[in-house]
A and B are shown apart, each in its own frame.
Chain A
Amino acid sequence: MKTIDWKTAIRNGLVGGVIALYFSMIGMVEAFSGRNLIGDFFNMGHLLLFGGVLAAGILTARAHKEASVGINAFSSLVAGLAAGIPTTLLILLANNVELQSVFVSVNRTLLALLTFERGMSGLGLFFLATSLIALAGGLYDSLPGVYKRTLGLSLSVVVVVAVFSNIVTQIMTTLFGRPSVRLILDGDALKPLSAAVLFVVLTGIFILREQRRVKAEKLVASGAAAIESKRASLQRQVILFVGIGILLLIAPYVLGSFLSQVLFEVGRFVLLGLGLNIVVGYAGLLDLGYVAFFAFGAYTMGILTTTGPLNQGGGLFNFWLALPIVVLVSVFFGIMLGFPVLRMRGDYLAIVTLGFGEIIRILALSDWLRPIMGGAQGVLAIPSPVFFGIKLDSPEKMYYLVLAGALLVAFVSIRLRDSRLGRQWMAMREDEDVAEAMGINLVQTKLLAFAIGAGFSGLGGAIFAARLGNIFPHSFNLLISINALSLIIVGGLGSIPGVIVGAIALVGLPELLREFQEYRLLMYGILLIVMMLNRPEGFLPAEVFKRELHAEEAELPGAEA
Chain B
Amino acid sequence: MASILSTRNIIKTFGGLVAINDFSLEIPEGSISSVIGPNGAGKTTFFNCVTGFYKVDAGMILFNGAPIQNQRTDIVTRLGISRTYQNIRLFANMSAIENILVGQHPRLKTFWGEAIWKSKRFQEEEAVALEEARRLIKFVGLQGLGDQVARNLPYGAQRRLEIARALASQPKLLLLDEPTAGMNPNETGEMTHFIKHLRDELGITILLIEHDMRVVMGISDQVTVLDYGSKIAEGKPKDIQNNPRVIEAYLGRGAASGLKSGKAK
Q: Is A66 an interface residue (CB 8 A)?
A: no
Q: A419-B122, A547-B130 are in contact. Are A438 and B102 (CB under 8 A)?
A: yes
Q: Residue on A with the closest CB to B91?
A: A430
User: Could you tell me if A551 and B93 are in contact, using CB atoms closer than 8 angstroms?
Assistant: no
The closest CB in chain A to the CB of B138 belongs to A548
CB-CB under 8 A from B97, the residues of chain A are: 547-548
Set of chain A residues within 8 Å of B51, measured between Cβ atoms: 437
Contact B108 A548 (CB under 8 A): no
**Binary contact track B138-159/A, C-beta < 8 Å → 1, others 0:** 0000011111010000000000
Q: Is B14 an interface residue (CB 8 A)?
A: no
Given contacts A438-B103, A438-B165, contact A420 B112 (CB under 8 A): yes
Q: Which residues of A contact B147 (CB under 8 A)?
A: 544-549
A427 CB contacts on chain B under 8 angstroms:
91, 94, 102, 105
Inter-chain CA distance A448–B101, complex, in Å, is 19
| Interface presence of B227 (CB below 8 A) | no
Closest Cβ of chain A: how far from B207's Cβ, in Å? Answer: 15
Instruction: Please tell me if A155 contacts chain B, counting CB pairs below 8 Å.
Output: no
Q: Which of B16-24, B73-81, B187-195 lines the interface with chain A? A: B73-81
Q: In the complex, A421→B105 CA distance in Å?
A: 9
CB distance from B82 to the nearest CB of A (A): 8
Interface check A72, CB cutoff 8 A: no
Q: Is A407 an interface residue (CB 8 A)?
A: no
Distance A545 CA – B146 CA, assembled complex (angstroms): 10
B139 to chain A, nearest CB (A): 13
Partner of A415, one of B83, B89, B93, B115: B115
Report the count of interface residues on B (CB-CB < 8 A): 45
For B106, the chain A residues whose CB sits under 8 A away are 438-439
User: Taking A437-B77, A440-B105, A544-B95 as contacts, is the C-beta distance between A421 and B115 under 8 angstroms?
Assistant: yes
B1 sits at the interface (CB 8 A): no
Q: Does B92 lie at the interface of the complex (its beta carbon under 8 Å from any beta carbon of A)? A: yes
A516 CB, nearest partner CB in chain B, Å: 37
Q: Mark each residue of chain B from 84 to 124: 1 if its CB lies under 8 Å from any CB of chain A, else 0.
A: 01000111111111100111011010101001101000100
Q: Distance in Å from the Cβ of A13 to the closest Cβ of chain B?
A: 40
| 0/1 string, A405-439, CB within 8 A of B gives 1 | 00000011001101111111011001101111111
- What is the minimal beta-carbon distance from A521 to any residue of chain B, in angstroms? 30
Nearest chain B CB to A440 CB, angstrom units: 6
Q: Within the complex, which residue of B85, B92, B93, B146 is in contact with A548, where a contact is CB–CB below 8 Å?
A: B146
Most chain B beta-carbon neighbours within 10 Å: one of A415, A420, A424, A546: A420
Of B91, B126, B165, B169, most A-chain CB atoms within 10 Å: B91
Whether the pair A437, B115 counts as a contact (CB closer than 8 A) is: no
Q: How far is the CA of A187 from the CA of B236 in the complex (A)?
A: 91
Closest beta carbon of chain A to B231's beta carbon, Å: 25
* CB of B250 within 8 Å of the partner chain: no
Given the known interface contacts A416-B116, A544-B147, the answer about A423 and B101 at a Cβ–Cβ threshold of 8 Å is yes
Which of A415, A423, A545, A549 is the one whose CB lies under 8 Å from B116?
Answer: A415
Measured between beta carbons, the chain A residues less than 8 angstroms from B101 are 423
Q: In the bound complex, do residue A436 and residue B74 qualify as a contact, i.e. CB atoms below 8 Å apart?
A: yes
Which residue of B is nearest A427, CB measured? B102
Task: Say yes or no: B102 contacts A547, CB within 8 Å.
Answer: no
Contacts of A423 in B (CB 8 A): 94, 98, 101-102, 105
A436–B52 CA distance with the chains assembled, in angstroms: 10
Q: Are B103 and A426 in contact (CB under 8 A)?
A: no
Q: Which residues of A contact B89 (CB under 8 A)?
A: 431, 433-434
Q: Which residues of A contact B73 (CB under 8 A)?
A: 433, 436-437
CA A440 to CA B149, docked complex, whole Å: 21
- Asked if A109 is at the interface (CB within 8 A of a chain B CB), the reply is no
Known: A434-B89, A442-B74. Contact between A420 and B116, CB under 8 A? Answer: no
Contacts of B133-189 to chain A: CB distance below 8 A: 133-134, 137, 143-147, 149, 165, 169
Instruction: Let me know if B53 is at the binding interface, CB within 8 A.
Output: yes
By secondary structure, the A interface counts as: helix
Tell me if B72 counts as interface (CB < 8 A to partner A). Answer: yes
- The smallest C-beta distance from A556 to any residue of chain B, in angstroms, reads 13
A441 at the interface (CB under 8 A from B): yes
Q: Which residues of B contact A441 (CB under 8 A)?
A: 72, 74
For A522-549 the 0/1 string (1 means CB < 8 A from B) is 0000000000000000000000111111
Given the complex of chains A and B, what is the CA–CA distance between A440 and B12 in angstroms? 25
Known: A439-B169, A546-B147, A548-B147. A416 touches B94 (CB 8 A): no
Asked whether A424 and B146 contact (CB < 8 A) given A419-B112, A430-B93, A436-B73, the answer is: no
Among A419, A422, A435, A440, the most chain B Cβ lie within 10 Å of the Cβ of A419
Q: Which residues of A have CB within 8 Å of B77?
A: 437-439
A551-B134 in contact given A427-B94, A545-B98 (Cβ < 8 Å):
yes
- Decide yes or no: A438 and B115 within 8 Å by CB, A430-B94, A545-B95, A546-B147 being known contacts: no
A437 and B91: CB pair below 8 A? no
Nearest chain A CB to B153 CB, angstrom units? 13
Docked Cα-Cα span, A31 to B196, in Å, equals 74
Chain A: minimal CB distance from B47 (Å): 10
- Nearest Cβ distance between residue A244 and chain B, in whole angstroms? 23
What's the nearest-Cβ distance from chain B to residue A447, in Å? 12
Bound-state Cα–Cα, A442 to B93, Å: 19
Q: In the bound complex, how far is the Cα of B73 from the Cα of A431, in angstroms?
A: 14
Pick from A419, A426, A440: contact of B126, CB below 8 A: A419
Shortest CB-to-CB span from A429 to chain B, Å, is: 8
Given contacts A415-B118, A427-B105, 10 further A-B contacts (CB under 8 A): A411-B116, A416-B112, A419-B122, A420-B115, A421-B112, A427-B102, A435-B102, A436-B53, A439-B169, A548-B145
Interface residues of B, Cβ cutoff 8 Å to A: 51, 53, 72-74, 77-78, 82-83, 85, 89-98, 101-103, 105-106, 108, 110, 112, 115-116, 118, 122, 126, 130, 133-134, 137, 143-147, 149, 165, 169
Q: Mind listing 23 A-B residue pairs with CB under 8 Å?
A: A416-B112, A419-B115, A420-B110, A420-B112, A420-B115, A423-B94, A423-B102, A426-B93, A430-B92, A434-B89, A436-B53, A437-B82, A437-B83, A438-B165, A439-B105, A439-B106, A440-B74, A442-B74, A544-B95, A545-B95, A545-B147, A548-B147, A549-B146
> Which 9 A/B pairs are nearest by Cβ-Cβ distance?
A548-B146, A419-B115, A439-B106, A439-B77, A430-B91, A421-B112, A547-B97, A427-B102, A436-B73
